[in-house]
Chains A and B, each alone.
Chain A
């Protein structure tokens, strides 16, 4: 993807999330405090770094944006008031709107349906499915 397309993607992500990626000064507090920070790749601060450098398509293709539980700890503690959860949500929306689901409702097992509170399914499908 050329850099013009990339930079328009960054603008689109900023618009959807209402966040400005250049507000971030890369302290890494979001990564440090993320409950899933060890597994999330790229970790939140690195994801924002990719956007600062105009490498949006790399982030959209990553696994990291699909591992966010929307706990909002990153944005709550950010010293620069950048909310990464909103950025990740915008990234997911761009992918989902291109019709790519990450969680397939048809593949949820009957045992899970029986067991887990429905709020989890709705939340999961809303965040991760077309």
Chain B
């Protein structure tokens, strides 16, 4: 099964490990991500001002290109998912037909059909946890894992309709299928500080440390993420402000997926992590 896939810019540079593990793990899980032959930046953040269509041109152009490939477009980075999904929903929203027309007039590619933007996790869920469980080569040995969804996967809830915004579960279900123990915690969808790290680093660090601290309170040994910026903030805030046994390794969910499906250590991209998870994984017999 092949799915048209939009990787996005960050996944080509600072979040290579998120992307590379996803592609390889997909093959082991029984599907293939087929990268769009041509794409551009998603816009990185959605603009909500009602008169600001310029910010939508980027994502709409991607959608137009994707419409030539199929009905659905798979995304992986939480920010790309959020922006493309919201742009797609806006194009289809009743009462905004004029916006749709203006955007499509402006974009150089035709929109052949409305595109459903889905996340990689949703594809996994559709394919079924039982099937995935059967493909696990290295079960996670009950490792206690907190799934951190952040903001972009779940909000705005009425547009994304991804999962319960206060207690999303899809990544927890994945963790369980891979033999880990999902840890419910109170900060699954609280903010990591996001782009405030650019000009208010201390503020972002405080937000990220609260997330990690709460995950630890509920017994998590590891946190998994879907977003390059969450990943960065959670790792860097700890590197700057924590030490010793306070440190909780943070991995992309695709790294954990790849690990359980038997990808080689070299394929898992641990070199790109800012808090090396390897010593911890070794102690748990997973490397």
Contact = CB atoms under 8 A, between A and B. Distances in A.
A93 B9 CA distance: 26
B190 to A, nearest CB: 6
A118 B14 contact: yes
Contacts of B236: 115
Given A71-B191, A73-B151, A127-B195, A117 B156 contact: no
A112 B77 CA distance: 21
Interface in B230-287: 232, 236
A36 interface: yes
A71 B52 contact: no
B50 A15 contact: yes
Contact of B14 (A36, A83, A117): A117
Interface residues of A, number: 38
A100 interface: no
Contact of A69 (B43, B194, B210): B194
Given A119-B10, A119-B44, A121-B198, A76 B165 contact: yes
B131 to A, nearest CB: 32
Contact of A103 (B189, B193, B199): B199
Contact of B199 (A39, A122, A128): A128
Contacts, number: 124
B105 to A, nearest CB: 22
B156 A35 contact: no
Contact of A126 (B44, B156, B229): B44
B198 A72 contact: no
Interface of B: 8-10, 13-15, 41, 43-45, 47-52, 55, 77, 79, 151, 155-157, 165, 189-191, 193-200, 203-204, 207, 210, 228-229, 232, 236
Interface of A: 15-18, 35-36, 39, 67, 69-73, 75-76, 83, 85-86, 89-90, 93, 102-103, 108, 112, 115-124, 126-128
Nearest 3 CB-CB pairings of A with B: A71-B191, A122-B44, A123-B45
9 contacts: A15-B50, A18-B48, A35-B190, A72-B156, A103-B199, A116-B197, A118-B13, A119-B44, A119-B195
